Amino acid sequence: MGQHSSDLHFKLMSLTFQFRDFFRPRMDILKEVGIQPGFRVLDFGCGPGSYIPHLAALVGSSGEIYALDRNPMAIQTIQKLASKKGLKNVKPLQSDGSTGLPDNQFDAVLLYDSFHEIDRPDEVLKEIHRILKPGGILSFRDHHLKEEEFLPALKKENLFEFSRKGEKTYTFSKKI
């Protein structure tokens, strides 16, 4: 896919998400995660940042949000969003998997509607496991996949323990 086509795809996706978010607010999904003030959260595959303002409200000024995406337009969008809303605790990261972040630092990782696009899911799950604190939360949803398609992948390496199925998300905790 050429860059122009990729840019157009991203812009259309962003527009679609704005429509979606109006009718199905992202905070309804985040409520299932249990994010607390002061949490350090990674939004893996953040796209145009639909969850970022809501995450900022949940983690407060003492928390941190890292927004990771492989698309440079997503990173630019996150930077603009953070600047416009004065979110000083949002840190964009461009990557398709490796974070370069320290071990055992994150309270929660959101892996929403991006797992189906990941080229090396085993490596990404190992990276998420590495950066999560012991007992940290992996919150998962991907409407492109059925439960029987993603659950085996998430359990495969014995990195995460299934905690609960909510109305909108699946919650896993990091195995030590």
Q: State pLDDT tens for residues 63-108.
A: 999 999 999 999 999 999 999 999 999 999 999 888 999 999 999 9
We find that the CATH architecture of domain 3-174 is: 3-Layer(aba) Sandwich (3.40)
- Cα–chain-centroid distance for residue 44? 3
Of 54, 55, 49, nearest to 78 by C-alpha is 49
Domain range annotation of the chain: 3-174
Rg, C-alpha atoms of the chain: 15
Is the distance from CB of 78 to CB of 146 less than 8 angstroms?
A: no
Q: What is the pTM of this model?
A: 0.87
Q: What is the pLDDT of residues 92-150, one digit of tens each?
A: 999 988 899 999 999 999 999 899 989 899 999 999 999 999 999 999 999 889 999 99
* Position 102, amino acid: P
Structure tokens at 131: 């950066």
CA nearest 118: which of 155, 68, 72, 75?
A: 68
Task: Provide the terminal-to-terminal Cα distance of the chain, rounded to the nearest Å.
Answer: 40
Burial label, 70 (beta-carbon count in 10 A; 0-12, 13-18, 19+): middle
3-state secondary structure of 84: helix
Residue type at position 112: Y
Task: Tell me 27's DSSP state.
Answer: H
What is the C-alpha separation between 42 and 106, in angstroms, rounded?
Answer: 7
Query: Looking at the predicted structure, is the pLDDT value of residue 2 above 50?
Result: no
- Most confident segment among 25-29, 86-90, 152-156: 86-90
Bridge partner residues of 132 (DSSP): 106
